[in-house]
Each structure stands twice: as structure tokens, then as C-alpha cells.
Amino acid sequence: MSGKLYLIPITLGESSIESVIPTEVIESTIKTRHFIVENIRTTRRYLRLLDKGFPIDDTQFYELNKRTTPEQISGYLKPLEEGFNVGVVSEAGVPGVADPGAAVVELAHQNNIQVIPFVGPSSILMSVMASGLNGQNFAFNGYLPIKSGERVKHLKHLEKRSIQERQSQLFIETPYRNGAMIDDILNHCLNSTKLCIACDITLENEFIKTDTVQNWKKNKPNINKRPAIFIIQG
Amino acid sequence: MSGKLYLIPITLGESSIESVIPTEVIESTIKTRHFIVENIRTTRRYLRLLDKGFPIDDTQFYELNKRTTPEQISGYLKPLEEGFNVGVVSEAGVPGVADPGAAVVELAHQNNIQVIPFVGPSSILMSVMASGLNGQNFAFNGYLPIKSGERVKHLKHLEKRSIQERQSQLFIETPYRNGAMIDDILNHCLNSTKLCIACDITLENEFIKTDTVQNWKKNKPNINKRPAIFIIQG
């Protein structure tokens, strides 16, 4: 019997664990002894928060990032063949979405390993829920181009698509560039386009607000260095 | 002080509640006495599962469906002005995604009411996590056209986009039509295109598998009448 690949969520920051992680997910997490992780320190710290006595020293951690090779990932799946469950843990939120986790999952499917996703916080999903924008048709576009000219072009393309296809368009930015992103949206999108800014989701300072570009211009938020999701819908 | 609009998740079927709903979300849910719901019976039943002694008779339920008018929704927000928290509850999973909940949230933003999304199970998010397909860029397209000719055309359009933009494409189908949908995908998508079929997510018979169209053809699954998410990536 081969083990199962657990997709294990983690908090989005300093939130209470019981507010975002179901009890049985906590239980399955602390029974696991093999973890493929984006950040070993973050994962160790989280495991100790779940269970003060978590046996870190009896646990294997395998690092997953952009530089991890397919051969290394293949090696990470060995414990599954030996019957152990292996957890995939992201830097924050759920693995496999906006992180490198999908590479592990892809290989698991190729090897007929059962993949089990657990429930946890996702800033992407929660921002769609709380935006009031179209949740029946939406796209997550990851990061937009960094250079302002290209970014504006891409923003206009997404705005156009949101109008033509009634598909709301999500994207993210490195937190210290949030200000520049908001400027680009307010300067180049239509006044009638709706913009949802969702930041610090599930945290104490959670801020989620949808308004028109026109209204945002009168009341520009400062969310510098706060993790944020942007959604536009023309 | 106005109340808050809680976006309250519910199980995706007969799963254990503790496996998919965080403890503090359960606590906030059973403290709420005003609910805007897609299905009153489902919500009542769920509340009684959370708390056998839940005071159903002291609780207000407001029905939300395609026929609910903006004026009615506006009335549903009255308790918020009076300082009561109001919960939005979908038929299954999280509200505001693939359901009519967004209309309430939109109006809440227009009235400066704080909107708080809670963590819970979403078959859309969980299928992206567990697919191994691109989770850095994906689109949820809801239902495809029902007529086979139009549907095939749309399928090919989504496949093309998934190749050109490296954006994985999610869609759903009414469960009793799953067989016809799988036939259309296998007959009209490229052999090299990857297809994830994710059904009964979080339930006992959960089935999640990603493979190429070519391999699926040799081993066609029967998922008739089971709720499913389809994801393609060319």
C-alpha cells in the first residue's frame, strides 16, 4: 500500500489557527512525518504551534522551490512508495495554488499516488468570495509584468476581457510595489471599472473593499507592504 | 455600529464537519441569527448538525436565488443597519463563488458594510490544488454551453487559451451530463492535453485524477451523477 500525498494548508500569517484550519486537518498534519516544503523554518514553526511536542527531529523535510529539479522531486516521493504519507506545505495558505507545489502533485498523478487536498485559507478564493464581483467566472493571473509600460498594456487587456467575457480578473503584486500597482490601475482603467482590493486576509487588519475606479481615485488606500489581491471587472 | 456580513461555508455533502470547517467558523456560525441562504432547508439542517439545540425558531432566513430582486436583497441587509451580523450561506461550499451570493456582497460594499469571508471547502480551489496543473494561472469558466456543437467549440477555445496563455481552464457540468462532457473532451481535445477530473471532493468517494486525453481514452471513468470539476491544460 503506497502512502497518500496530503496537500496541507497553513495560516496566512499571524492568525489564530482554529479560525482557518479545521480540527481534522490539524490532526492529520501532526501525524505526518514527511513534508515537502517551500520553507523549512516556516513549516517547523507552524508544526510546533499546532503541537508543542511535535517530534521535529524524527521528521523529514524536503525543500521545494524554483531550483528544485524533477529528479529531486522524484526522490521526495520515495517515502510514499514505502507506505508513508507525505505532506506538501506552502509558504502561506494552500499548496498547489500560486506556489511551486503543483510540480510535486503532477508527479504524484504520474505515479498513481492518491492526492488529498485539505481545507485551509486561500487569499485568492477568499477575495473572490468577498469581492461581490463575478464568482461564476473568474481568472487568477498571478503576477503582471513588472515594467510599467507592459503592465499597463496587460491591465488594459485584462479589463477588456473582463468586459467581453464577464470574467473577473485577479492578480497579485509584490507587497512593496502595491502603491505603483494601484496608481497604474487608477490611471489607466475605466472610471466605471470595479476594483476590489483585498489585503491581510484572515489577519487582524483584514481590509476588503470593492468600489469603482472613479471612487477609489477620491480615496486612495495605502496598503504598502501588505499582502494583497487585486480584482478588476469592467 | 452596523453588523458584519459573514460569508459562511458549509460542507460539500455528507462529510464530517470537523474535516472541512474550522472550529472558530463553527462558533461564529452558531452565534448568527440572520441568514441569507440559497436553500432554507439545507441551511436549517446544517445549523442543527452544528448545534443540536440551535434556536431555529428565533432565527431569520432570507431566500436568495436567481429570482430574488435587488429590492429584496436590499431589505435583507436591514438587520445589518440594526447592528446584527448576517450570514450568507450557499447550497454547498463557500458563498460568492459559483452561486448567487455575489449580489448580496456587492450591495454590502455599496453600503460600506464590512464583509468577512470564512474558510471552508471549495471544490474549485481544492481541484486546482490537487490537479498538479497550473495553479499560478487558472480560470474558472462555470458551465459551458449545453448544445454539443457550441460546447465543443467552446472546449476548443479553452484548450487553445490554455496553451497560448499557460492558463489552466476549469469548468463544471450538471452531474447527470458528466458522461457527455467527458465524451466531448476525449473526442475533441488534443491527445497531449491534460485533463483533471475531480469529483466528490471531501466526500468518502473522492476521486481526483489527472492524465492525458490519450490515456483517459483507454480508461474512461464513469462519474455519472457525481458532482465534478473538470480542468484542462494543453
Total-model pTM: 0.97
A130 contact residues in B (CB cutoff 8 A): 7, 96, 105, 115-117
Cell of A109: 498523478
Residue range B66-100, pLDDT digits in tens: 889 989 999 999 999 999 999 999 999 999 998 88
**A130/B139 CB distance under 8 A:** no
Rounded to whole angstroms, the Cα distance separating B211 from B192 reads 9
Counting other chains too, the contacts that A55-63 makes at CB distance below 8 Å and 24 or more residues apart are A58/A33, A59/A33, A59/A34, A59/A35, A60/A33, A60/A34, A60/A35, A61/A35, A61/A37, A62/A34, A62/A35, A62/A36, A62/A37, A63/A37, A63/A38
CATH code for residues A5-117? 3.40.1010.10
What does R_g of chain B's alpha carbons equal in angstroms?
A: 20
Residue range A109-154, pLDDT digits in tens: 999 999 999 999 999 999 999 999 999 999 999 999 999 899 999 9
Fold match flag (A5-117 vs A123-233) = no
Break chain A into its structural domains and give their ranges.
Answer: 5-117, 123-233
Rounded to whole angstroms, the Cα distance separating B146 from B177 reads 9
Q: Sorting pLDDT into bands at 50, 70 and 90, what band is A66? A: confident
Q: Sorting pLDDT into bands at 50, 70 and 90, what band is B1? A: confident
- Supply the pLDDT for residue A102: 94
Rounded to whole angstroms, the Cα distance separating B119 from A127 reads 11
Is residue B202 a contact partner of residue B12, using CB atoms and an 8 Å limit? yes
B50 touches chain A (CB under 8 A): no
Closest chain B C-alpha to A10 CA, distance in angstroms = 12
Is residue A100 a contact partner of residue A135, using CB atoms and an 8 Å limit? no
Rounded to whole angstroms, the Cα distance separating A209 from A127 reads 10
Rounded to whole angstroms, the Cα distance separating A14 from A69 reads 32
**B134/A21 CB distance under 8 A:** no
CATH architecture label of B123-233:
2-Layer Sandwich (3.30)
Q: How many Cβ atoms from other residues are within 10 Å of residue A215's Cβ? A: 13
